[in-house]
Structure 1
Amino acid sequence: MTAPARRSRLEAAVSDTARPRARAVLFVLTAIAALLALLAGCSTGSVDGGGESADTTGVERQGEFPRTITHAYGETEIPEAPQRVATISWVNADVSLALGVVPVGMPRNSFGANANGSTDWFDAELEAVGGEMPELYSETDGINTEAIAALEPDLILGAYSGMTAEEYETLSKIAPTIAMPEGDVPFGTAWQDSTRLIGEALGRSEAAEELITEVEGQIQQVAEDNPAIEGTTFVWATVDPEAAEKIYAFTDVDNRPRFLTQLGMEQAPVVAEASSGSPDQFAVTWSPERADELASDILITYATSPEVRQAIESDPLLGRIPAVEAGRMVVQTDEQQVLSISASSPLSLPWALENVVPDILAAAEQEQA
């Protein structure tokens, strides 16, 4: 595509500016987390850290281009091996980087961000491959089509996202766009499926399978090293005495229960039963008046401050949750820890195994004692 043609195409797309989306994204992180905040970065990235050149010739590709990728909104043809990749939402930038392709642009994190507006696991991998920080753009008001268009990408990744059909059409005017897999609910794509889909789009399918095997092996090793957690029941929820809805329990559509299940633990039967009629919901509301029925070996919840623990324990209703009464509640106050599992990726999960899982294991082992 010539430069004038590309500019014309981008200008047409930007004119269809993305509309703010009222989606249940809060369940993806926490019931109280906000979407990404505004702060633009100052440089673009490429596979070899070469800035604007975005030279990806050093990345081995499998298969032939052009290729057609199937996803929730149909089929996308990718004419040649992508060299300038932009991403939306969470996870997609992690996967692209893990497969050797540094995005030229990605959303800035507000929830769970480090000082760079990124995450510790992304930054560590970026340093390892010698890449430059991608351009960071805000998604506070929805997908930032203007910022993405300005980067002139040749591929937009949204395999893990809540992209609507209208947003897909707008992004497709900028560059070939990959939405979530067909049949997945918004923000409900498992990290393995995101990795496979992105690997196919990048011509890195073999590397994607190797990456999945490696990360699953690390998870399995932790499970084998801690056999006592096998069969331990859990409730992963947001419990907050000050919230309008005081208890949200995450279902197996959410990445958090999925992850603990991989470790050999089991979703509490009461949550599994309560969510059985809602296969697309990330969480179910639980009445505080029935807190004593929310039975599990351990409870994990996010809180904005350590003081929330005492507030839960002293609450006349929430304090009756069996795991709270037994002293087997894990309270997470570190946003990056929450993000590492709620938006699971092949980069975040190894980090979580070191920085999040030990507290969960300690609570599970206390139950066994």
Structure 2
Amino acid sequence: MTSPLFPGRQAVSGGAAAGTTRRSLLRTAGKATAVLAAAALSLTACSTGPASTASEASAASSASAQFPVTLKHVFGETTIKEQPKRVVTVSWVNDDVAIALGVVPVGVPKNEWGGNAQGSTPWKDAALEKLGAGFGSDKAPAQFSEADGINFTEIAKLNPDVILGAYSGLTEEDYKKLSEIAPVVAQPELAYGTPWQEATTLIGKALGKTTEAEKLVTDTEATIKAEAAKYPQITDKTFIYGNLEPAKGDGVNVYLAADNRPRFLTDIGMKPAAIVEEKSKGSREFFTGWSAEKANELESDVFVTWVPDAKTKDQIVKDPLLSQIPAVKKGALVAGSDNTLTLAISASSPLSLPWALDKFLPQLAAGADAVK
């Protein structure tokens, strides 16, 4: 399954078509880890449970009034008859959105790439702790592995009311099998192509939290703009966000407009390079390949990429072909090796982006500072 993080690599948490692993990193990360076969949690694990105050009762009544709701997606339509109490998510992002809306799923996939020792992320851990449902507690979501694709068996055990996959690479076969378990919110169109804003509003409707979802999008966008404003040097700088492979014939991949990485850089005031705009026109792909022999044609102010280690960045700078990328030549290569930070931007959500800003923006600013 092709990973939405790195073109042509095996996915470790859901995916679409089969691909070829290009680094040993994800071959290692893709190995299945031991799965905590947690028993189904009580209904109190979801914040949509019984209200305990007059205001909570009013909110619950308002949420219930939003149902039934019908949601459109790439495979047709899904109708959710009443507000879900037992929520299960697949792939990345969807659990972040539910948790950000105050709903603790009864089951979530492990973050098996870019995650921590407990198969989670710093932003997810912090949000769950605030909800009194941190991993290790009685109210924590059960976790299951998606190293080998959708885990139908573990999902069925959790007896969900709804399965959230607004940001995912569900196939039609996946969708049909999951629909036998519970109503499924699939991706609206492209596999791993749902903007975090759309995923948030879609999941908000599915959970009876439409107003909260709209506010969450507005607040998150405001946070992004406020933090980006602290680094004026990045405004209007052109960018290419890609993947560089030193000493490889297929040494460059360039992410296109359908991918969250270029979307994020655009949101903070940067501009896609001409090659990104050209290749994005009419394309339904999230990346395009580029010959390393034509690396000198990849004109942009800044080039952003992920590397497994600092050594690889040095190899890129010294590579006879990749070193001819204009941004690399002038020292404007932004190459980070923090897998968790890469995950936060690649599979962006209302929880991951605020966490990533104070780590990623200074790196971009340093790249922009190299532009003369």
TM-score category of the 2 structures, normalised to the smaller one: 0.7 to 0.9
Query: Cα 1:98–1:46, aligned 2, differ >3 Å: closer, same or farther?
Result: farther
Q: For residue 209 of structure 2, what is the aligned residue in structure 1?
A: 204
Greater CA drift, 356-365 or 109-118 = 356-365
Displacement of 1:225: 2.5
Structure 1 contact 47–56 (Cα < 8 Å) conserved: no
Q: For residue 283 of structure 1, what is the aligned residue in structure 2?
A: 287
Q: For residue 158 of structure 1, what is the aligned residue in structure 2?
A: 165
SS of the residue 1:341 aligns to: helix
Paired residue type of 2:178 = L
Deviations 1:320-365 (A, max 9, x none): 1111110111111111111001001000000111222221122113
**Pick from 47, 50, 66: which aligns with 1:57?**
50
Structure 2 contact 84–162 (Cα < 8 Å) conserved: yes
Q: For residue 332 of structure 1, what is the aligned residue in structure 2?
A: 336
Query: Cα 1:192–1:299, aligned 2, differ >3 Å: closer, same or farther?
Result: same
Displacement of 1:299: 0.9
Q: Considering only aligned residues, what root-mean-square deviation do their CA atoms show, in Å?
A: 2.0
Query: Cα 1:99–1:314, aligned 2, differ >3 Å: closer, same or farther?
Result: same
Greater CA drift, 222-231 or 283-292 = 222-231
Q: For residue 249 of structure 1, what is the aligned residue in structure 2?
A: 254
> Do residues 264 (structure 1) and 269 (structure 2) align?
yes
2: CA distance, partners of 1:363 / 1:130 = 40
Q: For residue 187 of structure 2, what is the aligned residue in structure 1?
A: 180
2: CA distance, partners of 1:276 / 1:97 = 35
Q: For residue 86 of structure 1, what is the aligned residue in structure 2?
A: 88
Structure 1 contact 46–55 (Cα < 8 Å) conserved: no
> Do residues 345 (structure 1) and 349 (structure 2) align?
yes
1: CA distance, partners of 2:200 / 2:48 = 22
Q: For residue 136 of structure 2, what is the aligned residue in structure 1?
A: none
2: CA distance, partners of 1:152 / 1:274 = 44
Q: For residue 231 of structure 1, what is the aligned residue in structure 2?
A: 236
Deviations 1:225-260 (A, max 9, x none): 323322101111110114452100101110000000
Structure 1 contact 46–101 (Cα < 8 Å) conserved: no
TM-score normalised per structure 1? 0.87
Paired residue type of 1:157 = L
Paired residue type of 2:214 = E
> Do residues 297 (structure 1) and 305 (structure 2) align?
no
2: CA distance, partners of 1:106 / 1:343 = 15
Displacement of 1:75: 1.9
Q: For residue 22 of structure 2, what is the aligned residue in structure 1?
A: none
Q: For residue 19 of structure 1, what is the aligned residue in structure 2?
A: none
Paired residue type of 2:5 = L
1: CA distance, partners of 2:11 / 2:179 = 27
Q: For residue 17 of structure 2, what is the aligned residue in structure 1?
A: none
Q: For residue 5 of structure 1, what is the aligned residue in structure 2?
A: none
TM-score normalised per structure 2? 0.86
1: CA distance, partners of 2:335 / 2:147 = 27
Structure 1 contact 45–133 (Cα < 8 Å) conserved: no
SS of the residue 1:162 aligns to: coil
**Pick from 67, 70, 73: which aligns with 2:72?**
70
> Do residues 143 (structure 1) and 120 (structure 2) align?
no
Q: For residue 41 of structure 1, what is the aligned residue in structure 2?
A: 36
Paired residue type of 2:35 = A
Give the fraction of aligned pairs with identical amino acids, expressed as a percent.
Answer: 44
Displacement of 1:35: 1.2
2: CA distance, partners of 1:135 / 1:39 = 13
SS of the residue 1:115 aligns to: coil
Query: Cα 1:287–1:244, aligned 2, differ >3 Å: closer, same or farther?
Result: closer
SS of the residue 1:225 aligns to: coil
Query: Cα 1:54–1:345, aligned 2, differ >3 Å: closer, same or farther?
Result: closer
Gaps of 5+ in 1: 1-21
Displacement of 1:100: 0.8
Displacement of 1:187: 0.5
Paired residue type of 2:324 = R
2: CA distance, partners of 1:140 / 1:130 = 28
Displacement of 1:30: 1.8
Greater CA drift, 157-166 or 356-365 = 356-365
1: CA distance, partners of 2:10 / 2:246 = 16
Greater CA drift, 128-137 or 39-48 = 39-48
Paired residue type of 1:35 = V
Greater CA drift, 265-274 or 309-318 = 265-274
Displacement of 1:218: 0.7
Paired residue type of 1:215 = T
Query: Cα 1:237–1:44, aligned 2, differ >3 Å: closer, same or farther?
Result: farther
Displacement of 1:116: 1.1
Displacement of 1:44: 6.7
Query: Cα 1:339–1:306, aligned 2, differ >3 Å: closer, same or farther?
Result: same
1: CA distance, partners of 2:99 / 2:48 = 14
